[in-house]
Amino acid sequence: MRSLLTSLGIIIGVGSVIVMVAMGEGSQRAIEERISAMGTNLLQINHRPPPRHIQTTYTRRSAFSKEDLEKLKDESTYTSAISGVVQNNNTNVIGGEGSVQVRLQGVEPDFLIARNWNVNAGYFFEEEDLALRNTVAVLGRTTAKNLFGDAEKALAQQIRIGTEYFTVIGLFESKGADLDGRDQDDIIIVPMDTAMTRLNNSPYVNHIVISVIGREYMETAQREIELLLRESRQIPDGINSDFAVTNQSDTINMASETSRILTGLLTAIAAISLLVGGIGIMNIMLVSVTERTKEIGIRMAVGARKRDILFQFLAESVILSLMGGVMGIGMAFLACRILSNIGVPTTVNPLIVAVSAMFAALVGILFGYYPALKAAKLYPIEALRYE
């Protein structure tokens, strides 16, 4: 019982370090996966109005035109997919089971590639639907369920958006929530030109999404797109752009760096338990030396050398620490399993497990050395007379 209580600090310390790192890495991976699910090598271009205090003779446009889109498609060299997006928030849509307020987007076929979305029931519209301004729609799973009770029943059914009737031709695979907690499955996608003419009666798009051919070209592609858009929108030199190009890689790196810093802080706090456990081991070993003084004297009297006594007590200290480390690792794996079952992402790093076990042994050596040295320096005669 005393050995178990002695090792308790090591058990808690090792277990806490492993669990904290596992939670940090699990959260980091979950964030990266969620951002990656928003699009592969994604660049997003949004309109950015100038500050009110800036006066200029340059006339700024409020949105992007099809000419802007065509210039990017014709002249950009690092892009694999480009799509304009016409967005209407809180659009009233009526289906077979009632009406809902939903986010509606008008897009081009390349939107699927840029945003890394997949249709797993039915099909997505094509360039012909765009050119003919067909009234077809692809629904997210949440929207389809809200409109028809069962998502699968939505296929080939009609929905009413404003005064127009649209035919449901496809359903997206489930995407879950985005970084803002918004349900990505609560959405309706229609052809961009249809949204422009039949719903908005406007020739402009709200923003543009672009997929770059490779992550190593993200910054180069971003600079090229900025130059092309400035030329297309006739923005003079010396005037700030009226748009912003957002690099998805920057978002991933920022989120990952934040997660790493938080994980480091939590791990440092948990590591304090290891030091506390080491002090506990040193205290108990000092008590053990005092209790076993006569035994030490007998061993020395029959020929034990100082290094034999030193090794004996040092070995006991290391074994106590390693025992605590092994139990802490077992506790950490159990805790990670429980956390995963309740929905908290965890990723156990084998390297951290090995380092934690080695650190536990190191704690045993560091904090066990002084008691072991004290035992080795006892005089045999005094030790034999000790009561």
pLDDT digits (tens, 9 = 90+) for 120-148: 889 999 999 999 999 999 999 999 998 98
| Interacting residues of 168 by C-beta distance below 8 A, sequence separation 6+ | 122, 136, 137, 138, 139, 144, 154, 155, 156, 157, 158, 159
pLDDT digits (tens, 9 = 90+) for 151-178: 888 898 999 998 889 999 999 988 876 6
Q: What distance in Å separates the CA atoms of residue 128 and residue 148, rounded to the nearest whole number? A: 28
pLDDT digits (tens, 9 = 90+) for 216-239: 888 888 899 999 998 888 888 778
**Sign of torsion over alpha carbons 147, 149, 155, 157:** negative
215-231 burial by CB neighbour count: b if 16+ within 10 A, else e?
eeebeebbebbbebbbe
Q: Is 87 helix (H, G, I), strand (E, B) or coil?
A: strand
Assign 114 a pLDDT band (cuts: 50, 70, 90): confident
Q: Is 18 helix (H, G, I), strand (E, B) or coil?
A: helix
| Interacting residues of 323 by C-beta distance below 8 A, sequence separation 6+ | 3, 7
How many residues belong to the chain?
Answer: 387
Q: Is 27 helix (H, G, I), strand (E, B) or coil?
A: helix
Counting residues of the chain whose pLDDT is more than 70, the rounded percentage is: 88
pLDDT digits (tens, 9 = 90+) for 333-374: 999 899 888 888 888 888 888 888 888 888 878 888 888 888
Q: What distance in Å separates the CA atoms of residue 273 and residue 360, rounded to the nearest whole number? A: 11
Q: What distance in Å separates the CA atoms of residue 212 and residue 80, rounded to the nearest whole number? A: 6
The phi, psi pair for 95, rounded to 5°, reads -125, -165
- pLDDT of res. 159: 92
Residue 89's CB is within 10 A of a number of other CB atoms, namely 9
pLDDT over 60 at 387, yes or no: no
Q: What distance in Å separates the CA atoms of residue 211 and residue 203, rounded to the nearest whole number? A: 23
Q: What distance in Å separates the CA atoms of residue 174 and residue 168, rounded to the nearest whole number? A: 17
Per DSSP, which regions of 108-206 are E strands? 119-122, 136-139, 158-161, 164-172, 187-191
Displacement of CA 290 from its chain's centroid (Å): 53
Q: Are 103 and 186 in contact (CB under 8 A)?
A: yes
Q: What distance in Å separates the CA atoms of residue 251 and residue 257, rounded to the nearest whole number? A: 10
- pLDDT of res. 55: 47
- Mean residue pLDDT of the chain comes to 82
Counting residues of the chain whose pLDDT is more than 90, the rounded percentage is: 16
pLDDT digits (tens, 9 = 90+) for 211-222: 888 878 888 888
pLDDT digits (tens, 9 = 90+) for 288-310: 777 777 777 888 888 888 888 88
pTM above 0.75, yes or no: no
